[in-house]
Amino acid sequence: MPKITFIPQNKEIEIESGTNLLEAADQAGLYIEGDCAGKGTCGKCRVKIVEGEAGNPTRADKKHLSEKELNEGWALSCQRRIKNNITVEVPVQKEAHLRKTTLAGGVEELEAEPAVEKRAVKLSRPAVKDQTADLERLLKELGRNDLSVKLRELSGLPAMLREHSYSVTAAITGNRIISIEPGDTSDQLFGIAFDIGTTTIMGSLLDLQKAAVLAVAAETNPQNIYGADVISRINHASQGQKEQKQLQDKVIEAANKIIKDLLKQTRVAKDRVYESVAVGNTTMSHLFMGVDPTYLAPAPFIPAYSRALEVEASELGLDINPAGRVTFLPNIAGYVGSDTLGVILATEMDRRSGNCAAIDIGTNGELVLVADGRLMACSTAAGPAFEGAQIKQGMRASAGAVEAVRYINQGFEVSTIDDAPARGICGSGLIDAAAALIDAGLIDATGRLTNPEQNPDQVPEKFKDRLKKGDHGMEFILVPKKDSETGEDIVLSQGDLRELQLAKGAIYAGLKILMKEAGIDEEDLDEVLLAGAFGNYVRKESALTIGLLPRLPKEKIIAVGNAAGDGSRMALASKTIRNRALALPEKVEHLELSTRQDFQEIFVDALKFS
Q: How far apart are CA 377 and CA 369, in angstroms?
A: 6
Residues in 158-217 at the binding interface with a second copy, rule: CB under 8 A: 158-159, 162
Mark 71-86 as b/e (b = at least 16 C-beta within 10 Å): eeebbbbbbbbbbeeb
- Tell me if 310 contacts a second copy by CB under 8 A: yes
Nearest to 292 by CA among 247, 342, 331: 247
Looking at 96-104, 263-271, 304-312, 510-518, which segment touches a second copy (CB under 8 A)?
304-312
Looking at 154-162, 187-195, 492-500, 508-516, which segment touches a second copy (CB under 8 A)?
154-162
Q: How far apart are CA 357 and CA 554, in angstroms?
A: 14
Helix (H) or strand (E) holding 399: none
How far apart are CB 60 and a second copy at their closest, in Å?
34
- Tell me if 408 contacts a second copy by CB under 8 A: no
How far apart are CB 555 and a second copy at their closest, in Å?
37
Q: How far apart are CA 251 and CA 219, in angstroms?
A: 10
Task: Identify the three-state secondary structure at position 503.
Answer: helix
- Tell me if 497 contacts a second copy by CB under 8 A: no
Q: Whose Cβ is closer to a second copy: residue 44's or residue 578's?
A: 578
The 111-140 site mask, x for binding a second copy (CB under 8 A), equals ---------------xxx-xxxxxxx----
- Tell me if 553 contacts a second copy by CB under 8 A: no
Q: Which phi and psi angles does 292 have, rounded to 5°?
A: -55, 115
How many Cβ atoms from other residues are within 10 Å of residue 310's Cβ? 12
How far apart are CB 196 and a second copy at their closest, in Å?
16
How far apart are CB 133 and a second copy at their closest, in Å?
4
The 251-290 site mask, x for binding a second copy (CB under 8 A), equals --------------------------------------xx
Paired with 51 in beta bridges are: 87
- Tell me if 28 contacts a second copy by CB under 8 A: no
DSSP states of 140-173 as a string?
HHHT-TT-EE-HHHHHHHHHHHHHTTTEEEEEEE
Q: Whose Cβ is closer to a second copy: residue 2's or residue 334's?
A: 334
Cis peptide bond upstream of 300, omega within 30: yes
Q: How far apart are CA 89 and CA 73, in angstroms?
A: 10
Q: How far apart are CA 73 and CA 209, in angstroms?
A: 55
Q: Exactly one of 301, 448, 473, 539 binds a second copy (CB under 8 A); which one?
A: 301
Q: Whose Cβ is closer to a second copy: residue 150's or residue 448's?
A: 150
The 327-356 site mask, x for binding a second copy (CB under 8 A), equals ----x-xx----------------------
- Tell me if 583 contacts a second copy by CB under 8 A: no
Residues in 222-251 at the binding interface with a second copy, rule: CB under 8 A: 244
DSSP states of 241-276 as a string?
HHHHHHHHHHHHHHHHHHHHHHHHHHT--GGGEEEE
Q: Whose Cβ is closer to a second copy: residue 366's or residue 566's?
A: 366
Q: Are 252 and 318 in contact (CB under 8 A)?
A: yes
How far apart are CB 295 and a second copy at their closest, in Å?
5
- Tell me if 592 contacts a second copy by CB under 8 A: yes
Task: Identify the three-state secondary structure at position 464.
Answer: helix
Number of residues that bind a second copy (CB under 8 A): 46
What sign for the dihedral angle of Cα 58, 62, 68, 73?
A: negative
Q: Which phi and psi angles does 283 have, rounded to 5°?
A: -65, -45
Q: Whose Cβ is closer to a second copy: residue 136's or residue 187's?
A: 136
Q: Which residues bind a second copy (CB under 8 A)?
A: 126-128, 130-136, 148, 151, 154-159, 162, 244, 289-292, 294-295, 299-307, 309-311, 315, 331, 333-334, 590, 592, 594-595
